[in-house]
Amino acid sequence: MRKKITVIGAGHVGATLAQRIAEKELGNVVLLDIPESEGMPAGKALDILESGPVYGYDSRVLGTTEYPPTAHSDIVIITAGLPRKPGMSRDDLLNTNAKIVKSVSEQVAKHSPNAIVIVVSNPLDAMTYVAYHTTRFSKNKVIGMAGVLDSSRMAAFVAEALDVSVQDVQPMVMGGHGDTMVPITRYTTVAGVPVTELIPKEKLEGIVQRTRDGGAEIVKLLKTGSAYYAPSASVVAMVESILKDKKRIFPCAAYCEGEYDVKGLFLGVPVKLGANGIEQIIQLNLTKDERSSLQKSIDSVKELTESLKRLNII
């Protein structure tokens, strides 16, 4: 029997994600959006379904604006939320998206109480906390997608700089998803060789900064939207590791209870992803400088989480 995967939010990220999941035959897909979207999710789902005979996949894809068809999902992926608009403060964005994610999470808990939840909505670390707080699922079953994407960007830039295959690049990015993320060059390797031995320090620092600015760079180029190909690919890698119990090591937003001296926050850390969701948080030995950079990221995430409490979201 095929697994059931629900994607909440049928925008660019959600629809591309549904397509990739179907093409890899990871399970049957339910693509859900708000009632105001009317036939949009159904139309996109039908289009993906009708691609099956050409690509040769048998995954079923259903689009809906109602939650009952999502019932008993094995994995639920939350992409719902609004982008930041001109004149909108960070608290405005936080408040708006937190309310959306909270409402969605209530329905997830009601219809799929045994699901593993992957959050993609921004601000990522805070929205993952909202989903965790609202669903009351165990901490291993609520995961934020951020580090996989950030690491993928770093890997692409390293591979480009060295003119090598991206398959040989193993990057490591920790911390919150945003300007304070911490790409750790010391733990980034190319075919087992530390990247610090292959790329000059100044050039490597440029790659680190470009990784931090990766999302903003795409937004600036697109002008009317944000990234969705790489984000959707990153989620699929996580879904595959969970459903196939591959136990891959990915940097993801995980609920920390003492790891890296963090308590009660979601933070991007290396984790083992398997059938039970987050099966282990991997603790790396960090240098003083790396620890200092991570602390700045922790402080930023903590500030966002405190804002949720101030706004009475949690």
Residue whose token pair is 């549904």: 18
Pairing of strands 116-119, 75-78: parallel
Q: Coil, strand or helix: which one is 147?
A: helix
Distance CA 190, CA 198 (A): 8
- Map residue 174 onto helix, strand or coil: strand
Going by their DSSP bridges, the two strands 189-190 and 169-170 should be labelled as antiparallel
CB atoms within 10 A of CB 275: 14
| 177 has catalytic annotation | yes
Tell me the two tokens of residue 226.
Answer: 């944000």
Residue 82, C-beta contacts closer than 8 angstroms, at least 6 positions apart: 93, 96, 97, 100
Which of 72, 111, 133, 177 is flagged as catalytic? 177
What's the maximum distance between 2 C-alpha atoms anywhere in the chain?
55
The Cα 95–Cα 110 span in angstroms is 23
- Alpha-carbon distance of 314 to 304, in angstroms, equals 12
Q: Estimate to the nearest angstrom the gap between the alpha carbon of 186 and the chain centroid.
A: 23
d(CA 97, CA 84): 10
Torsion of CA 293, 218, 42, 111, to 10 degrees: 0
Question: Do you know the residue count of the chain?
Answer: 314
**Residues with a known catalytic role:** 177
